[in-house]
A and B are shown apart, each in its own frame.
Chain A
Amino acid sequence: MKIAIRKGRVVDPASKFDAPADVFIAAGKIVAIGQQPTDWHSNKEINADGCVVAPGLVDLAVHVKRGTLATELAAAAAGGVTSMVCSPDTDPVLDEPGLVDMLRLRAQSFHSTHLYPLGALTKALAGKHLAEISKLAQAGCVGFSQADHGVLDTQVLLHAMQYAATFDYAVWLQPEDLHLAKGGVAHEGEVASRLGLTGIPSIAETIALATHLELARVTGVHLHVCRVSAAESVAMLRAAKANGVRVTADVAVNHLHLIDLDMGHYDSNFRLSPPLRTSRDRDALRAGVIDGTIDAIVSDHTPRQDDAKQLPFAEAAPGATGLETLLSLTLRFADATKLPLSAALSRITHNAADAARLPAGRIAVDAAADLCVFDPGAYRLVNKASLKSAGKNSPFLGYELPGVVRATVTAGHVAYDSQG
């Protein structure tokens, strides 16, 4: 398959390349940028006039279920995402190499977005016994996580980090003190008090994060902090990085836009984990992304059936669908903060890939042909009909968002083409 992407503005944040150029793809790789190779015959031409040609997006937080894998991979491609890291809280939990093999093989059979699984750090994510993480790594796991289950026993966590550090595996943790967060469904503050919802205080995050950072410091493990939500956490991460702790971090893109007030009268599409917090927290998260304290912006894609959301707020399942809004919301974030396009894209391309240690997120000759072609000036309406994901649970339903994906190329295949 030979593909030519013509007349686009090529933006590669890693190399700081930003200029009009044609891109030529053959045998799954980028073979030329700018100058057409001699004797070139395209099987497919993509007209990128007026569009940005960016590295395919790298999304570090996707929740998938085996039954809907095909739909969600299609949603990823439609969203311009060519690499996604999926959480181990599948059913069954990814705590055995055979399960990882099955998931990866099934994902590969669709020739679409690359799926990189995280393995369970502990068996059944129960936080008691270590999973066979070395075998899981050999099966293709790129890191080890507790999803949103946490670990109550700090000694288990210490041992898990020591063991992971032995083989230089990364440990991915969402910081949440399970006792302080118990029963909570919204940020503890004025809005939760008004609505009569049980709060999750910011200290539920910072106390766990302090523990994780200390354990990372003494074990030397690569700690990836998932879904930061509180202003104080950003300051803690900044200090830890300055002190040489091996830590990377991500934030869900929803948290760069929304705050607790936005849930209105109990809109369950705004029930997220961690919860949406205040404008002060949002501003600190934005600053953390801009100065690099937070390496990656993620979708935290969590598709839910309508049944799981059409419940009283506290009973509704947490999470939002997100693969198809990651790009648009990142562009909206860049617009709101006057962040240059290339810098914003870096958080969903090579910075994200580097944090997860994935070979992705760059446009270069001989690099894998993972590309996203989008029109940055076009707007699209987010509604249930326009979302390909099985989950229609977006807090941005009814919003007009910037950025329309025209084509997604994954490993040299056209995974998505808006022209059909």
Chain B
Amino acid sequence: MLSKKNLQLNDNGDLHHLLAIEGLPKRIIERILDTAESFVGINEREVKVVPLLRGKSIFNIFFENSTRTRTTFEIAAKRLSADVVSLDVARSSTNKGETILDTIANLTAMHADMFVVRHSESGAPYLIAQHAAPHVHVVNAGDGRHEHPTQGLLDMFTIRKYKKDFTRLTVAIVGDILHSRVARSQIHALTTLGVPEVRVIGPRTLLPADIERLGVRVFTSLEEGLKGVDVVTMLRLQNERMNGALLPSASEYFSRYGLTPQKLALAKPDAIVLHPGPMNRGVEIDSAVADGKQSVILPQVTYGIAVRMAVMAILAGSAR
């Protein structure tokens, strides 16, 4: 029972919730990236706090555990002077039979201004946004296989830092596209920002049906797909993918799709390598690449804070 209108934007066309990159206008993505640029400086100062969100209450509601993502959202909120409460709902109330909407209603009654939501089911943040009080903003911190928009944005921020102009790039996304919310956010962000060629590379068992309809070129050979690319983004391969019949083993996967220095050499000499983390060294990526000079994996983490600050600051500044 959700409306079909674009929940993310208010009547003025400003960002009200960040639920997905799909459907976001280019100007909004660029505004987030530009705003993040100004926060990078703050993060390098001795006093890393600005009072933009003083008095605002932000609830990190994680229906699925993720220490890393939750921590970066906490740091981002604290640097904006917001009051932050993090809830691991995966371990508390919903196990006692409370529904998502009850949890949200209770937290709204505590005068929440923003919910940062992670959930194992695709679309859960839409359900919450649909039922949230009008003044409350919802940020999707990853929903099922659907999207992880702040990760997609920080990846764009990182790519822009190193490559400047999106309209001349060839970008390859490698690995478990099927289960990856990061891949979907990246694809929509890259195509919206004008990247002329986005490639996805993986075995057919890990490619979603009709994925080319999202505007990507599909490769099943890592060697073919990496030829001449400017940016390589590797996806995490969950160990549980070995349980079914999707893949025979981690080592066979690495032999075909693991990023080694030899395979990276097929890309442009100045190609950069991204990974949303946490990495499985020796499964999807060789340590020599992860720690190599083309890797921008640690800068991604640093920029992640600035991008999340930008998202929260922009949302807090919009009203419905």
Contacts and interface: CB of A to CB of B under 8 A. Distances in A.
B319 interface: no
A201 B144 CA distance: 19
Given A265-B126, A266-B123, A310-B99, A194 B4 contact: no
A333 B184 CA distance: 36
A188 interface: yes
B210 A267 contact: no
Nearest to B63: A312
Interface residues of A, number: 29
A268 interface: yes
Interface in B114-131: 119, 121-124, 126-127, 131
B1 A265 contact: no
A310 B210 contact: no
A311 B209 CA distance: 25
Nearest to A186: B122
A192 interface: yes
B144 A190 contact: no
Contact of B214 (A188, A193, A267): A193
B1 A267 contact: yes
A314 B122 contact: yes
B27 to A, nearest CB: 21
Contact of B127 (A195, A198, A306, A311): A311
A279 to B, nearest CB: 14
B209 A190 contact: yes
Please classify how large the interface on chain B is, using the bins under 10, 10 to 19, 20 to 34, 35 or more.
20 to 34
Interface string A312-336: 1111000000000000000000000
Given A193-B211, A312-B144, 7 more contacts: A190-B213, A193-B209, A194-B184, A195-B146, A310-B1, A310-B99, A312-B124
Interface in B1-40: 1-4, 7, 22
B298 interface: no
A193 B209 CA distance: 6
A196 interface: yes
Contacts of B213: 190, 193
Interface in B140-165: 143-147
Given A196-B144, A196-B146, A314-B121, A266 B127 contact: yes
B101 interface: yes
Contacts, number: 89
B142 to A, nearest CB: 10
B126 A266 contact: yes
A188 B145 CA distance: 14
A194 B214 contact: yes
B143 A196 contact: yes
Given A194-B214, A196-B181, A188 B122 contact: no
A198 B213 CA distance: 17
B1 A268 contact: yes
B134 interface: no
Contacts of A310: 1, 99, 101, 127, 131
A292 interface: no
Contacts of A397: 1
A309 interface: yes
A307 interface: yes
29 contacts: A188-B209, A189-B210, A190-B209, A193-B208, A193-B210, A193-B211, A193-B214, A194-B22, A194-B184, A195-B122, A196-B122, A196-B144, A196-B145, A196-B146, A197-B122, A198-B145, A265-B2, A265-B123, A266-B127, A269-B1, A309-B1, A310-B99, A310-B101, A310-B127, A311-B99, A312-B122, A313-B122, A314-B123, A314-B144
